[in-house]
Chains A and B, each alone.
Chain A
Amino acid sequence: MPDKRRYPIPTRKYPPRRAIPQLVVRRDLRHNVGAMAGLVFLVMLVLAAALAPFLTPYDPLTTRPANQLQPPSHYHWAGTDLFGRDVFSRLLYGARISLLVGVLAVTIAAIPGTLLGLLAGYYEGWIDIIISRLIEILQAFPGILLALSIVALLGSGLPNVILAVGIASIPSYTRLVRSSVLTVKRKLFIRAARIVGCRDSRILFRHILPNVLAPVIVLTTLDIAWAILNASALNFLGLGVELGTPEWGVMLSEGRGYLRDAPWVSVAPGLMLTLTVLAINLLGDGLRDSLDPRWRA
């Protein structure tokens, strides 16, 4: 949070633009082993996902029933599944899906969630009441239940899963932003901006938003992990992607019946999922620590 004493109002006409400096990642993120490990893993994962066709000779969709449930070998690094598909190449292509789901779902959640939070916190009054009630209604459903209901409502399929997971995490952004705005708007420099006649929209987006953005960025990072987990949970429950899609949750679920004879079919995607989510969480924790030293572990 800004230190008021550093911004003596009388000497400046406008409050300083403070968006960028606060967002610059502090140097000590580089010394955070966990966050760096997470970052390295994620970079490798993104590369692997992008270069998947060059890293594996097998198409992730082509079935070879005669070659079913082969254990990991020189040819099939992670074995084959019930349909004789190469599990390793499905893992690589699956990374594309999970990363896409994470990023899109969080975009769907963060933008409206932040806007609603800004409005509710800034205007208070009846706008706040309506928004807060809406958010409470959404929150009255446990996260995955809400996502489940939305998928049931819209039908299955990856876009709907992304939407469902996104909508389910809107409330956390709204709540976070609303409470930050309530604090920030009482600060002297906001009052000053109002006194000098700034329009609401300018105050909201130029002065308040940058000041509440840091926690939002941390939440966004951690939320990507949550979104990936929840989307694969939905897929695991059989509500998600189209047939054959190499999504990790689906792969895990497909392999469940063959746990004894072919554990690799479900263990491998679970491991990838855990590692990816772990990497994002480590990076998110590191970001949080370096963006706001008060939260530092």
Chain B
Amino acid sequence: MIQYIGKRLLSALPVLWGVTTLVFLAIHLVPGDPAEVILAQSGGSSEALEQLRARLGLDAPLLVQYVRFLSNTLRGDLGRSLFTNRPVVQTIGEQLPHTVQLALAAMAVAIVVGGALGSAAAIKRGSWLDNLCMTLAVVGVSTPVFWSALLFILLFTTTLHWLPATGQGSLRHLIMPALVLGLASSGTIARLVRSSLLEVLSQEYITVARSKGLSERTLLLRHALRNALIPTITVIGLQFSFLLGGAVVTETVFSRQGMGRLIVDAILWKDFPVIQGVVLLSAVLYTLVNLAVDISYAFLDPRIRHE
């Protein structure tokens, strides 16, 4: 097993290198010069532009910038933002908790709502309840986050004045974004919970347990649900990617700070070091989540391990 993990970790390295190189190349090929952006706020001469470029290290040949960037990254130095002049690690460190908070809250919503819909549907398989739950799930999957966000604001802020539309800091600020993002992902989870629960319920040990006279309630909670959750949890792990993507839109609509906003702004403003840092982080996280999923599969299915 350790050997397997080691092998997987090793194979992640070229991916991380590929991602960083790709990003480095991509952002340097995008039209737009950060020095120009900085200068634009005040107006200035072409010599000022050249000076600024030199100061920011943007005048060096691409290869030199690349080598500089790689060696710094390996030493854990992601550089300073071109605009804020603050260390990228620090900036990410400030923004990440906000997105993690939102993602965790959204995930909680998704698991509770999705789990409830999915189990209800599986238990009452084929009934009107099943149909209702699965219809709600597909509606959830189909509703764009930016539209549900708008409807929530329209209802809870403009009409009822219950919740603030924007900002962060308190639980009240978190409710709407977490609901919007969580509901979007609860549909996927509901379907998954339903299908894995159905699969578990058809297993022989459940039939055995049932024949031994266990109550349906105990059966469901003690045996079925627990086993059905294992594949669900791995997929929830993969939902992380979805949630980070969803956070881009959610954070924009609700004017929340976080990684989503950080990356969108950085892309628009060509803040190279920040883009590189965020992408690197997202790649590392993705690789780790993927690794965790693979390992859990390997535990569940010995065939993969030996292949």
Residues of B near A143 (CB, < 8 A) are 241-242, 245
In the complex where A140-B15, A145-B248, A277-B142 touch, is A297 in contact with B267 (Cβ < 8 A)? no
Q: How many of chain B's residues touch chain A, expressed as a range?
A: 35 or more
B160 beta carbon closer than 8 Å to chain A: no
Residues of B near A273 (CB, < 8 A) are 144, 147
In the complex where A140-B282, A274-B142 touch, is A267 in contact with B150 (Cβ < 8 A)? yes
In the complex where A142-B245, A285-B138 touch, is A137 in contact with B19 (Cβ < 8 A)? yes
Q: Which of A4-12, A17-25, A89-97, A148-156 contacts B (4 or more CB under 8 A)?
A: A148-156
CA distance A259 to B268 in the complex (A): 26
Chain A residue nearest in CB terms to B11:
A133
Cβ contact within 8 Å between B22 and A137:
yes
Residues of B near A252 (CB, < 8 A) are 146-147, 150
CA distance A252 to B145 in the complex (A): 12
How far, in Å, is B189 (CB) from chain A's closest CB?
15
CA distance A130 to B156 in the complex (A): 50
Residues of B near A256 (CB, < 8 A) are 150
Task: Choose from B11, B130, B135, B287 the contact partner of A140 (Cβ within 8 Å).
Answer: B287
Residues of B near A263 (CB, < 8 A) are 154
Residues of A near B246 (CB, < 8 A) are 144
CA distance A140 to B12 in the complex (A): 11
CA distance A134 to B130 in the complex (A): 40
Residues of B near A295 (CB, < 8 A) are 195
Interface centre among B27, B147, B195, by most A CB within 10 Å? B147
CA distance A209 to B146 in the complex (A): 38
A63 beta carbon closer than 8 Å to chain B: no
A58 beta carbon closer than 8 Å to chain B: no
Chain A residue nearest in CB terms to B252:
A237
Residues of B near A225 (CB, < 8 A) are 142
CA distance A136 to B11 in the complex (A): 11
In the complex where A229-B144, A281-B141 touch, is A137 in contact with B31 (Cβ < 8 A)? no
CA distance A256 to B254 in the complex (A): 12
Residues of A near B135 (CB, < 8 A) are 34
Cβ contact within 8 Å between B154 and A139:
no
Residues of B near A233 (CB, < 8 A) are 144-146, 249
Chain B residue nearest in CB terms to A236:
B146
In the complex where A141-B279, A145-B248 touch, is A297 in contact with B134 (Cβ < 8 A)? yes
Cβ contact within 8 Å between B26 and A259:
no
Binary flags per residue of B131-149, CB closer than 8 Å to A gives 1, else 0: 0001100110111111100
B158 beta carbon closer than 8 Å to chain A: yes
B256 beta carbon closer than 8 Å to chain A: no
Residues of A near B26 (CB, < 8 A) are 149, 153
CA distance A137 to B286 in the complex (A): 10
How far, in Å, is A289 (CB) from chain B's closest CB?
11
CA distance A295 to B196 in the complex (A): 11
| Interfacial residues of chain A within 23-38, with CB under 8 A of chain B in the complex | 34
CA distance A217 to B138 in the complex (A): 19
A210 beta carbon closer than 8 Å to chain B: no
In the complex where A34-B138, A267-B150 touch, is A144 in contact with B249 (Cβ < 8 A)? yes
Task: Choose from A134, A136, A149, A271 the contact partner of B267 (Cβ within 8 Å).
Answer: A149
A282 beta carbon closer than 8 Å to chain B: yes
| Interfacial residues of chain A within 104-158, with CB under 8 A of chain B in the complex | 133-134, 136-137, 139-145, 148-149, 152-153, 155
Residues of B near A82 (CB, < 8 A) are none
A270 beta carbon closer than 8 Å to chain B: yes
How far, in Å, is A204 (CB) from chain B's closest CB?
22
How far, in Å, is B252 (CB) from chain A's closest CB?
6
A278 beta carbon closer than 8 Å to chain B: yes
Residues of A near B158 (CB, < 8 A) are 259-260
Cβ contact within 8 Å between A267 and B151:
yes
CA distance A266 to B154 in the complex (A): 11
B110 beta carbon closer than 8 Å to chain A: no
Cβ contact within 8 Å between A270 and B151:
yes
Residues of B near A266 (CB, < 8 A) are 150
Cβ contact within 8 Å between B282 and A133:
no
Residues of A near B194 (CB, < 8 A) are 297
B201 beta carbon closer than 8 Å to chain A: no
In the complex where A263-B154, A270-B144 touch, is A148 in contact with B283 (Cβ < 8 A)? no
CA distance A212 to B27 in the complex (A): 37
How far, in Å, is A257 (CB) from chain B's closest CB?
11
Q: A237-B252, A253-B146 are in contact. List 15 more A-B contacts (CB 8 A).
A: A137-B22, A142-B241, A142-B244, A143-B241, A143-B245, A148-B267, A152-B268, A155-B31, A229-B142, A233-B249, A237-B264, A270-B150, A270-B151, A274-B139, A274-B143
What are the 9 closest A-B residue pairs judged by CB atoms, nearest first? A270-B147, A142-B245, A278-B142, A140-B283, A144-B245, A277-B142, A137-B18, A142-B241, A140-B286
User: Which positions in A face B, CB cutoff 8 Å?
Assistant: 34, 133-134, 136-137, 139-145, 148-149, 152-153, 155, 225, 229, 232-233, 236-237, 249, 252-253, 256, 259-260, 263, 266-267, 270-271, 273-274, 277-278, 281-282, 285, 295, 297
Query: Can you list 7 A-B pairs with a CB-CB distance of less than 8 A?
Result: A34-B135, A136-B15, A137-B18, A142-B241, A145-B282, A237-B249, A274-B143
